[in-house]
Each structure stands twice: as C-alpha cells, then as structure tokens.
Amino acid sequence: MALGDSYAAGPGIPRSGGPCARSDHNYPAMVAEGLPPAPYTDVTCTWAVTADMTSRQFGVIAPQFDALGRNTRVVTLTIGGNDAGFVEVMGVCAGLSQVDPQGAPCRDHYATSGGDEIAERVERTVPRIGDVVEGVRERAPRARVLVVGYPHLIPESKDSCAIEQPVAAGDFPYLYGVERKLNTMMAAEVTRHGAEFVDLHPSSAGHDICQAPGTRWVEGLVQVEGADPGHPNINGMRNAAHQVLAKLGRAG
C-alpha cells in the first residue's frame, strides 16, 4: 500500500496521468515489483497534504486512508513537503535570486529577527506526520509502516544553479539546512510513533537538482529525464525503491 504526495506519485515521469498525475514507474510501483506477488494499491497523489489522508483532496479524490485495511501488510508513506509549503518557497527563492544573486535574499526574507518562518512551518508539519503514522497503524494494525523521507534536493554550497533551479549563492546552505531539518525531525517523529524511517538523503548526495543530466535524480526547470520541476526523475525513484527494499530486506 502506497500513500503520499508527489514525491511518491512521480508526476511527469513517463506514463503518469489522472487527477493525481501518478506514474506507474514511481517508487511504490518499483517496490511492489521487488516484493513477492501480492495485492498492491497506490493512492499517492500530487499536491497531497497530511489532511488528505482523511479528507477528500480537491473535494473529489477519496481520502487516502480509505485504501487501508486490517489485511494491509506493508505501507509506504511520503508526506509533509506540501504542508511546509516547499513549492512556494522554491518559487519565492527563485524570484529573489534575480535581485541579489550573490547574497542570501531567501534566507533574509524568511528568517527575520522575529524567527525563521520556514523552520516554524517544518516544526508545525512534523507532528502532523506523526498523526498520519498513528492513523495508519489504527487502520492497518498488522502493517509494517515505512515513512520515506525526501531526497537531496539542493547542494550545500554552489555559486550558481540558474538554469536548473535559480537560487542565490548565499541561499544554498540555508535551503540545504531546511531540507535536512525536515528529514531529521521526520525521522525522530515517525520512529517515536512506531514507524520505520527510510532516509534518502545519504544515498542521493551528489545527485541533487544542480547536477548534470544523467547524474541528477531531481529535475530542474529544464527537464531532461521526464519529471516535474523539483521532483525525482525515474533514477531518483529507482534509488528510493532500492532504499525501501533494503529496509525490507529485499534489495538485490
């Protein structure tokens, strides 16, 4: 059983479609191929937030939790990025980079003397992820629950990445810190709620959005491998599937 947002659904990867832009070459599909034959359901959906586990997404797509049952044995879940507003953040940071390409305008915009808005969003989001895990365990008490984190998106430092993802030079460490914070807090939270965390960050290092085509596992504004901007391409999905299967003891 696969639950989650676009980082699980795989929008833009070949043979994706429907209202959720779900690909049949996303990591849940690859995980299913690597496990013994069994009924398999993928309800991941682009733009999903934690509330969409129990509410109709866009008012029409059934709550993802509706797919769970007492016979569910394995659940994968990737969620939280949309709750924290990461797509909006990347858009704002891209725009600000044009004004001050060598500074840190994104950090200065979000991190003021009153606090860091993005850090606060992450801190509000993580308990919701814990609640989702609890909801899964209530509805699928026999299931092994694996929460899959987010991959390495932005390098820790770089002078420019204007074509792939416009970011000011001084904002690379700031945005890198944000993605690390989310993954680190997710890991602690879901473990506390009895799930297993699959950390994609170490295995995807060196394959971030600023790398050359063929090396990067996350597509930029200029898409080469067939995935929505800022999302894993098929190689990123292969890595995610490999890490999940390794956690399940099934990696080849």
Q: Which residues are catalytic?
A: 6, 231
Q: Which residues contact 218 (CB under 8 A, 6 or more apart)?
A: 151, 152, 153, 204, 207, 208, 209, 227, 230, 231, 232, 233, 236
What per-residue string of b and e applies to 63-93 under the rule 16 or more CB within 10 Å gives b?
Answer: bbbebbeeebebbbbbbbbbbbbbbebbeeb
CA-wise closest residue to 9 among 34, 45, 47, 57: 45
- Distance, CA of 85 to CA of 176 (rounded, Å): 15
Q: What is the dihedral of CA 95, 96, 99, 101, to 10 degrees?
A: -100
16-17 and 111-112: which strand pairing? unpaired
